[in-house]
Amino acid sequence: MDMQFIRGTPTVTKQIGGIGNPHAVQPGAGARQTVEQFKEMFYNAIDNFSNLQNNADALMTQLATGETQDLHRVMIAVEEVNLALQLTLQIRNKMLEAYQEIMRMQV
């Protein structure tokens, strides 16, 4: 299994799990600090996705050039990228839905 995925996943899971958790934000933290924490978490998740994709591309190239015969490892890496992409798209969709709901609010 890809070591980068093993190292990156718990971090992303922990960060995503902290969203909406009142204990995840330090006491006295304002909205700006919360936004910055969310932005940092989101950028880290995108970086993790990018690293997974680069790893899968490298493994596919190695398989195509005959440097490796481990098809299972390549398929696992590709599926990891697929799952990470689906998670990223779902987060994006939820953020857009929340934004649209806020814009529909009457003040």
Query: Cα separation of 34 and 101, whole Å?
Result: 20
Query: Cα separation of 49 and 70, whole Å?
Result: 22
Higher pLDDT, 25 or 90: 90
Residue 38 — very low, low, confident or very high, per pLDDT cuts 50/70/90? confident
- pLDDT computed for residue 23 by the predictor: 56
Residue 32 — very low, low, confident or very high, per pLDDT cuts 50/70/90? confident
pTM over 0.75: no
pLDDT tens per residue, range 49-96: 999 999 999 999 999 999 989 999 999 999 999 999 998 899 889 999
